[in-house]
Structure 1
Amino acid sequence: MIEMKNVYKVYDNGVTALNGVSTTIKDGEFVYVVGPSGAGKSSFIKMMYREEISTKGQVSINHVDVSDMKLKEVPFLRRGIGVIFQDFKLLPTLTVYENVAFALEVIEEHPKKIRRRVMDVLDRVGLKHKARFIPAQLSGGEQQRVAIARAIVNSPKIVIADEPTGNLDPETSWEIMRIFEEINTSGTTVIMATHSKEIVNKIRRRVIAMENGKIVRDEHRGEYGYED
């Protein structure tokens, strides 16, 4: 479970990104985070994997206050959270297999388990046959699927995606969304910041809408509510 209690985030330049945010996201939920550019969506989700630290207020993951977490404890927090970015953030000189395996190598997993697990998740995202390709040999949609495979290879309880379909064509976006639905169906909590009106309105899930650093709407099976 993710809990935020009266969370503020004020950057050094004086910009207030979060202004008294409070919410609870239960295990197994699928949540869209929507709102205009500059609304605070990225800061909101970055709090969850401690990429950002609140200026004031409490952010808890499974009743552990991540705001007070020591730096050496952060990697252990992130082992249970998979993060997916709009620009993929793949290592360009590594193969598809190596990009995904890297997430297990850094936690010193056994080599036999790494191979088995990596091939399993590549099969799950439909890229087992391209394990030896490098990112430059893949389409944008394929690169995003590699990024998803890397995010879920540790079997995280939470997957956080920041505009995961933002650079993809509509057909590929729907393919990516099917993978996210499967991940969620398996019991993983999915939190997705998105500007896609079509996706939010078609695949109805909980919607948290943000404006000016505040949650202005929180609806079960909500709609996007903004123009593209």
Structure 2
Amino acid sequence: MIEMKEVYKAYPNGVKALNGISVTIHPGEFVYVVGPSGAGKSTFIKMIYREEKPTKGQILINHKDLATIKEKEIPFVRRKIGVVFQDFKLLPKLTVFENVAFALEVIGEQPSVIKKRVLEVLDLVQLKHKARQFPDTLSGGEQQRVSIARSIVNNPDVVIADEPTGNLDPDTSWEVMKTLEEINNRGTTVVMATHNKEIVNTIKKRVIAIEDGIIVRDESRGEYGSYD
């Protein structure tokens, strides 16, 4: 479970990104985070995987407060949180298999376990046949699906997707959404920041709308709304 209690975030330059956000996201939910540019969506998302630390308030992930944990604890918390980025962040000199395997290697998993698990998740994202290829030989959608495979290879409780379709054409975006839906259907919580109005309005999920650092709307099976 993800729980924020009166979370504020002010940056050194004076920008107030979050202004007292309180929200609960339950296990197994699929949540869109929407709002205009500069509303605080990215800060909200980064708080969940402790890329940013709140100025004030509590952020509980499975009852552990990310606002107060020690730095050495952060890597262990992140093992249960997968992150999918807009720009993929794949390692260009590693194959598809090696990019996904890397997430298991850094935690010291056994080679036999790594091979089995990596092939499982590549099969899930329908890229098992491209395991030996390098990222620059893949389409944008395929690269994003590799990124998704890497994010779930550790069996995380939560997948955070920060504008995962932002660099993709419409058809490819739907392929990526199908993959995220499948992951969610298997029990993983998905929290996705997006500007894609068509996706939000077509694939109905919970919508949290943020404006000026506060939650202005929180709807089950909500719609995107009107934003520039």
Alignment TM-score > 0.5, same fold: yes
> Could you tell me whether the CA contact under 8 Å between 1:50 and 1:74 is conserved in 2?
yes
Partners of 1:34 and 1:162 lie apart in 2 by 11
Counterpart residue number, 2:8 = 8
Q: Tell whether the 8 Å contact from 1:197 to 1:227 is kept in structure 2 after alignment.
A: no
Question: 1:118 & 1:226 partners in 2: Cα distance?
Answer: 40
Aligned residue for 1:201, secondary structure, equals helix
Superposed structure 1 runs of 4+ greater than 2 Å apart: none
Counterpart AA for 1:160: I
- Give SS of 2:91's match: coil
Partner of 1:207: 207
Question: Could you say which residue in structure 2 is the equivalent of 1:66?
Answer: 66
Q: How does 1:151-190 map to 2 (within 5 A)?
A: 151-190=151-190
Q: CA RMSD in A?
A: 0.7
How high is the TM-score relative to the length of structure 1? 0.99
Give me the whole-angstrom Cα distance separating, in 2, the residues matched to 1:164 and 1:226: 20
- SS at 1:191 equivalent: strand
2-structure distance, mates of 1:156, 1:37: 29
Deviation per CA, 1:166-218, whole angstroms, max 9, x where unpaired? 11011110011011111011010000000000000000000000001110000
Contact 1:7–1:54 under 8 Å retained in 2: yes
User: Partner of 1:67: helix, strand, or coil?
Assistant: coil
Q: CA deviation at 1:226?
A: 1.7
Give a deviation string over 1:144-174, Cα, whole Å, max 9, x none.
Answer: 0000000000110100000000110111100
**Alignment-derived partner of residue 31 in structure 1:** 31
Whole-angstrom CA distance in 2 between matches of 1:67 and 1:125 = 34
Residues 162 and 192 in structure 2, CA contact (< 8 A), matched pair in contact too: yes
Unaligned runs of 5+ in 1: none
SS in 2 for 1:33: strand
- 1:66 Cα deviation from its structure 2 partner: 0.9
Q: Matched residues in 2 for 1:187 and 1:160: separation?
A: 14
Corresponding residue for residue 111 of structure 1: 111
Measure, in 2, the Cα distance between the counterparts of 1:32 and 1:227: 15
3-state SS, counterpart of residue 109 of structure 2: coil
> Which residue of structure 1 aligns with residue 49 of structure 2?
49
Tell me the equivalent position of 2:141: 141
Instruction: State the percentage of identical aligned residues.
Output: 72
CA distance in 2, matches of 1:180, 1:129: 20
Q: Give yes or no for contact 2:39–2:213 (8 Å, CA) kept in 1.
A: yes
Given that residues 19 and 214 in structure 1 are in contact (C-alpha distance below 8 angstroms), is that contact kept between their aligned partners in structure 2? yes
Asked if residue 194 in structure 1 is aligned to residue 185 in structure 2, the reply is: no
Between the two proteins, the alignment pairs up a number of residues equal to 228
Scaled by the length of structure 2, what TM-score is found? 0.99
**1: CA distance, partners of 2:226 / 2:192:** 16
Distance 1:128 1:30 in 2: 26
Could you tell me which amino acid in structure 2 is paired with residue 214 of structure 1? I
Which residue matches 1:80? 80
Residues in 1 aligned to 2:218 and 2:81: alpha-carbon distance in whole angstroms: 23
Partner amino acid, structure 1, of 2:71: L
C-alpha separation between the residues in 2 aligned to 1:122 and 1:58?
36
Question: Aligned ranges for residues 206-225 of structure 1 at < 5 Å?
Answer: 206-225=206-225
